[in-house]
C-alpha cells in the first residue's frame, strides 16, 4: 500500500520577505472576493475587506500567505507591523513601493532592501 503526501510538514523555504527584528504583529482579515494574491502583497482596506493596494489607496497591511478567493471573501493572516524586504513586496500596477516608505513607517511597517540587487548602486 502506498501513501501520497499532500505537503511536507515542517519544511521551510526562505522567501526573503522578513528583513529585520522589529516586532511582528499579525491579524486575521477578510480578503475581498475574486483575488489571487501572493505572500508579500501590500493591502488596502475598504468596507471591512482587504484587497491589493492600488494607486491612491491607503496602505493597511502586508499579506502573510498566498491566497486565492472565490466568489466570496475569505480570511487570511496579515502583518500589521514588521520589517520587510522591499524587493519581496507587490502591489497593483502604478504603485511605486519605494514611495510608500513614509506612509508605511506610520503603521510600523518598515521597508528596506536587505540584499543588494544586481544594478543597485
Domain 25-112 has CATH 3.40.50.1000: no
Lookup: cell for 35: 483575488
Confidence band of 66 (pLDDT split at 50, 70, 90):
very high
Q: What is the pLDDT of residue 80?
A: 97
Q: What whole-number distance in Å separates Cα of residue 71 and Cα of residue 34?
A: 6
For the stretch 34-54, pLDDT in tens is 999 999 999 999 999 999 999
Helix, coil or strand: residue 97: helix
How far, in Å, are 80, 81, 83, 115 from residue 25 at the CA level? 5, 5, 11, 23
Every domain of the chain and the residues it spans: 25-112
Q: Would you mind telling me the total number of residues written for the chain in this entry?
A: 121
Q: What is the pTM of this model?
A: 0.82
Q: Which helix (H) or strand (E) holds 103?
A: helix 101-106
Amino acid at each position: 500500500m502506498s501513501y501520497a503526501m499532500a505537503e511536507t510538514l515542517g519544511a521551510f523555504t526562505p522567501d526573503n520577505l522578513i528583513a529585520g527584528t522589529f516586532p511582528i504583529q499579525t491579524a486575521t482579515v477578510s480578503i475581498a472576493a475574486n483575488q489571487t494574491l501572493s505572500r508579500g502583497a501590500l493591502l488596502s482596506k475598504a468596507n471591512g475587506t482587504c484587497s491589493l493596494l492600488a494607486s491612491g489607496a491607503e496602505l493597511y497591511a502586508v499579506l502573510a500567505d498566498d491566497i486565492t478567493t472565490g466568489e466570496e471573501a475569505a480570511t487570511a493572516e496579515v502583518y500589521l507591523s514588521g520589517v520587510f524586504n522591499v524587493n519581496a513586496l507587490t502591489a497593483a500596477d502604478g504603485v511605486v513601493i519605494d514611495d510608500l516608505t513614509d506612509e508605511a513607517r506610520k503603521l510600523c511597517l518598515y521597508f528596506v532592501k536587505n540584499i543588494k540587487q544586481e544594478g543597485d548602486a
